[in-house]
Amino acid sequence: MNSKSFFEDIEHHFHNKLPFVVFRQPNQSKLTAFLDFGTSEKSNKRFIVSPFDSSMYFSIHSHKILDLDYNSEIATTKSKGIEWLDLENKHKEHTELIGKALSSIQESSLKKVVLATSLQYNGALNSPLSYFKRILAQYINTFNYLLFHPDCGVWMGATPERLITMSGHRLQTMALAGTRPYGSSEWGNKEKEEQEFVVREIVNTLKQYTPQELIKYADTETIRAGHLEHLRTTITAELSISPIDSAQALHPTPAVGGVPKQMALEFINLYEQLDRSLYSGFLGAVSPEQTSLYVNLRCMSIQDYMATVYVGGGITEKSDPQNEWQEVLQKANTMGSILASEQ
């Protein structure tokens, strides 16, 4: 199948308002699309989508599968900048929320809480597929996807965080935390401490399902995701539960919830005035051979030319509200640069 036919088939499916997903694994050239004809027929291969605040998920079935070895047809271009709606109020609300989190951290046993916000841009005039092609051109080493489902509308993203890959009983996951601009020289104590929280919490969760000697983790490394860098620790384990049960046990990870998990989630539910929807949930392809699920970060939804970009950041006792806001803007630019790229 050539590129023209591949994208025309997806466009036709979308025009008929039928569920679909098109995705690319990190550092791969192959694009895969699952076209769901909206029937009750199940399929061995499917793409599951779980929102942040629910153990329920929905599936996009592979009633038809399209594959394409894709080389980007779009040259990366300079972003012309983007004007987010109501940015001043968003800044005020988010820094006030960070202040509440810092007070709670000082006064309780809360160690870290991840706070999210959304920024909106009322100028997404191009087709979702055209924006997705820009994502493919700009972000090579992330999990890239575009999906449509009647339950959630249009979403797309370029996430750097794998929740699980599982083949048989062998699970691989990662602890991902810390954010800085690409090319920075040193990691600060705040980022290093945040990463340690995440590793410890994931290992403690896995210990509920397998002996500690079956859990291994590698040295922490710096990885690039577009114009940002993060700290990553790869963790492996042998588990006897299913891939989806494994994902639900780990989710939400400390990278999108906090430490201790339950206390952080209570703070988020009480104070964060945002419907996260699919943001910081998980999604990915499930098959009998292998399951690969990702945390839905660096993502946006589009409806009627309005793009909503979702971002968040981990707050610890070492956080500075203004620095955290700058991190929000840096992360928002992952999708913002896609929306604002000049043709």
Q: Where are the domains of the chain?
A: 80-143+160-340
CA distance 227 to 330: 8
Q: Which two tokens stand for residue 303?
A: 């409806």
Count CB atoms within 10 A of the CB of residue 275: 12
pLDDT score for 255: 86
Q: Are 80 and 121 contacting, i.e. CB atoms less than 8 angstroms apart?
A: no
Full-prediction pTM beyond 0.85? Answer: yes
pLDDT bucket at 8, cuts 50 / 70 / 90? very high
Rounded to the nearest angstrom, the gap between the alpha carbon of residue 200 and the centroid of all alpha carbons in its chain is 21
Helices (H), the chain: 3-15, 87-107, 128-138, 189-206, 243-250, 261-271, 321-340
Closest CA to 327 of 181, 177, 189, 223: 181
The 3-state DSSP class for residue 233 equals: strand
Mean residue pLDDT across the chain: 94
Q: Does residue 168 register a pLDDT over 70?
A: yes
The pLDDT of 305-314, averaged and rounded, is: 96
Query: Which residues contact residue 8 at a Cβ distance below 8 angstroms, ignoring those fewer than 6 apart?
Result: none
Residues 6 or more apart whose CB falls under 8 angstroms from that of 275 comprise none
174-198 average pLDDT score? 90
What is the pLDDT averaged over residues 260-288? Answer: 96
Look at residue 79 in the predicted model and tell me its pLDDT.
59
Output the pLDDT for position 343: 44
Tell me, what's the pLDDT at 98? 98
Q: Is residue 51 scored above 70 in pLDDT?
A: yes
d(CA 171, CA 163): 10
Mean pLDDT, range 329-334, rounded to an integer: 94
Summarised one tens digit per residue, pLDDT across range 80-107 is 679 999 999 999 999 999 999 999 999 9
pLDDT for the residue numbered 78: 58
d(CA 157, CA 336): 11
User: How far from chain centre, in Å, is Cα 40?
Assistant: 28
pLDDT in tens, 125-148: 999 999 999 999 999 999 999 999
**Residue 53 pLDDT > 60:** yes
CATH superfamily for 80-143+160-340 is Anthranilate synthase (3.60.120.10)
Considering only 194-198, 262-266, 303-307, which range has the smallest mean pLDDT?
Answer: 194-198
